[in-house]
Amino acid sequence: MSPEKLIRMANQIATFFRTKPHEEAVMGVAEHISNFWEPRMRARLFDLLSDNCQGLDPLVIEAKDYIRPVEENA
């Protein structure tokens, strides 16, 4: 999946949760990505987050520490 599409999808999730209180929004983004994104998508998102986060919504950036990590053999 292209980085642009991944960024767009992550930002759409952030947009959905933006109406919630801040902490709930951050956790909502993290839970959604953890529960519904396959490991390859999460791994690519972590790569993007470690690069420079350009284009990612601030809620996605804040949620990174709460997103389920990708296991080495996944």
Residue whose tokens read 């980085």: 3
pLDDT in tens, 11-56: 999 999 999 999 999 999 999 999 999 999 999 999 999 987 789 9
Q: What is the pLDDT of residue 54?
A: 86
Q: pTM for the complete prediction?
A: 0.91
Distance CA 26, CA 51 (A): 20
CA torsion angle 55 58 63 65 (round to 10): 80
Contact indicator for 12, 4 with CB cutoff of 8 Å: no
